[in-house]
Structure 1
Amino acid sequence: MPNAEQYLKPEVIQTVARLDLRAKFIVEGFLSGLHASPYHGFSVEFSEHRRYSQGDDPRDIDWQVYAKTDRFYIKKYQAETNLTGYLILDLSESMAYTYRQQLSKFDYGICLAASLAYMMIHQQDPVGLITFGDRIKNFLPARSKRGQLGNILAMLANSHPSGTTEIGQNIQQIASMVKHRSLLMIFSDLLTDQKSVLDNLQRLRYAGHDVILFHILDEAEVYFPFEGMVDLKEPEGGDSLVLDAEGMKADYLEAVNELRQTYQEKLRAMGVDYVPLDTSMPFDKALIEYLSQRKARF
């Protein structure tokens, strides 16, 4: 039986059939790793506490936490701890692509979304779910009740990638649907017009939302492991081309790196967190970004 930390690896989590167990194993593996990392202070165990500071009322000290940590913490008020989040998942056909990884981009994104939902519900944070392709497919308003996790997992489990996507237009619609300031976590391969994506992410920032963009690519899309003549098909129902893989590899890798770098620079300038991922990477990078963002808001 693999230990908890091994469930951060995509090749292990793919052996777990049920989405609720996948989320549970990923989060438990992640939290066990926090205890030996610089991010220990982000542990869910202390998510509703903050360090005691001069001027705080000593009567607010949580002595049970002190007994565990030898440090003074005070329990935050509810208004300090609630973080409303929305998981926003791309359902376009290109997300179904996989080369040799067991998890497609879509499966990888679902595992991340389920894990983040698990963490947020555990912290009593309201969380909702939005899925989109060429239009908004599903909208589940944010709730913090325990049954919300089941609602989110059921919607994720019944989602399937198909058709084209209009990421920019959907982001624009989401900006009008989510009325209150929230943390919007977007999961997409971003195989669409870059300018439209950037322009509409700026709309979300103007509306006061915090945004984390998880850019999920297949391992092969990042490292281009192909050799010889390859038949490459446009990922959302387009034409195919037969090309010399070795002859185009350098140009392809340069283009992918440039795409990621452009997103990194432009999104940093507008205050959006950009997290480049591929389907061979452990899930902890994405979870750390969420916890970092959560801590920054309080």
Structure 2
Amino acid sequence: MEIKSLSLRARAVVEGFMSGLHRSPRTGFSTEFTEYRQYSPGDDVRFLDWKVMARTDREFIKKFEDETNLRCTFLVDFSRSMEFGGDEVGVKKSDYARTFAASLAWFLTQQRDAIGLATFDRDVREFIPPRYRQDQLKTILGRLETQPAGNATDLCQSLEKLASLIGKRGMVVFVSDFLSPLDELERCLSLFTASNHDVRAVQVLHPREVDFSYEEASIFEDMESGQNMILDPGMARDSYQQKYNAHNAALDAMFSAQGIPGFRVTTADPLERVLQRFLEERPARAVVRQRRSKGRRAA
């Protein structure tokens, strides 16, 4: 992330994503984020876009303005653990998180969608309700860029407050490292899914958190508590990997049970590709609801 300005970084990511999309033979990122939707029997064929059909070999119909408006709120974790990184292996998690949120916000604004922002650590720091207006993107980018390092995380306390603040149904994009205890998180996430929000979770990790690639005995600091400990990486690696894998397996199971698409990324991953992965993902909650309803009928 050599570009210092968050606004310029976000724009560069979106332009890189769009350039790659034009070069790639792959098609079909989620029509929630486009000005088109797939043709359905009964649609007026006069609104078929023949140029898009020729390029994609699929039938797309132009959306009307009332079909394109999306409300998206970004919930971005700026707790102390998000300050990890900033070395030759990967940037700080907080910088990666803010750039991802800024890039998606930039993209959605180009689609005339409403965007909002909430930042939190152990409590909600700031809440900007989703709106579509000329200065909204500038306001959100400014707040993202100036967020200082925070305190320890209390995901559930923050989520409980945010669930009451985000009223109207929409998309909620939750960006965090999700490394805090998960005991209460499922209940708190259900406050959003029960209100029929389309919740998506982006877990941002530093590569060293994934593979624990340290060679020499070092002093490690708990980013949340501030406590220091001396560890021999060779002796601690197996235990660390077991706990890391168990934590993420539980996190994945929780997201799956809630019907929440989860994206695990590292700060070394190119943001253009992460943005494409995110936009290609269709909501999972409809599938979960359909399966549950089938189960009830079968019973």
Scaled by the length of structure 2, the TM-score of the pair is 0.86
Aligned position for 1:282: 270
Is structure 2 residue 170 aligned with structure 1 residue 182? yes
Is structure 2 residue 112 aligned with structure 1 residue 124? yes
Is structure 2 residue 132 aligned with structure 1 residue 144? yes
More displaced 10-residue stretch of structure 1: 132-141 or 232-241:
232-241
The amino acid across from 1:222 in the alignment is: V
Distance, in Å, in 1 between the alignment partners of 2:107 and 2:71 is 12
List alignment gaps of at least 5 residues for structure 2. Answer: 287-299
Compared with structure 1, are the counterparts of its residues 72 and 218 closer, same or farther at alpha carbon in structure 2 (3 Å cutoff)? closer
Aligned-pair CA distance for 1:64:
6.1
Classify the secondary structure of the residue corresponding to 1:195. coil
Distance, in Å, in 2 between the alignment partners of 1:66 and 1:202 is 39
Is structure 2 residue 42 aligned with structure 1 residue 55? yes
Classify the secondary structure of the residue corresponding to 2:125. strand
Distance, in Å, in 2 between the alignment partners of 1:153 and 1:166 is 24
More displaced 10-residue stretch of structure 1: 48-57 or 180-189:
48-57
Is structure 2 residue 64 aligned with structure 1 residue 77? yes
Is structure 2 residue 70 aligned with structure 1 residue 96? no
Compared with structure 1, are the counterparts of its residues 100 and 253 closer, same or farther at alpha carbon in structure 2 (3 Å cutoff)? farther
Aligned position for 1:28: 15
Equivalent in 256, 260, 266 of residue 248 of structure 2: 260
More displaced 10-residue stretch of structure 1: 92-101 or 63-72:
63-72
Scaled by the length of structure 1, the TM-score of the pair is 0.87
Classify the secondary structure of the residue corresponding to 1:27. helix
Aligned-pair CA distance for 1:66:
6.0
CA RMSD of aligned residues (A): 2.4
Compared with structure 1, are the counterparts of its residues 197 and 127 closer, same or farther at alpha carbon in structure 2 (3 Å cutoff)? same
Compared with structure 1, are the counterparts of its residues 43 and 238 closer, same or farther at alpha carbon in structure 2 (3 Å cutoff)? closer
Equivalent in 100, 117, 120 of residue 112 of structure 1: 100
More displaced 10-residue stretch of structure 1: 58-67 or 215-224:
58-67
Aligned-pair CA distance for 1:107:
0.2
Aligned-pair CA distance for 1:78:
2.5
More displaced 10-residue stretch of structure 1: 170-179 or 32-41:
32-41
Amino-acid identity (%) = 35
Aligned-pair CA distance for 1:283:
1.6
More displaced 10-residue stretch of structure 1: 113-122 or 181-190:
181-190
More displaced 10-residue stretch of structure 1: 111-120 or 199-208:
199-208
Aligned-pair CA distance for 1:38:
5.6
Size of the alignment, in residue pairs? 284
Compared with structure 1, are the counterparts of its residues 70 and 232 closer, same or farther at alpha carbon in structure 2 (3 Å cutoff)? closer
Is structure 2 residue 234 aligned with structure 1 residue 246? yes
Aligned-pair CA distance for 1:286:
3.2
List alignment gaps of at least 5 residues for structure 1. Answer: 1-13
The amino acid across from 1:268 in the alignment is: S
Distance, in Å, in 2 between the alignment partners of 1:236 and 1:150 is 31
Q: Deviations over 1:52-101 (max 9, x none)?
A: 34422233234665687686532112332222101111111111111434
The amino acid across from 2:254 in the alignment is: K
Aligned residue runs from structure 1 range 206-245, under 5 A: 206-245=194-233
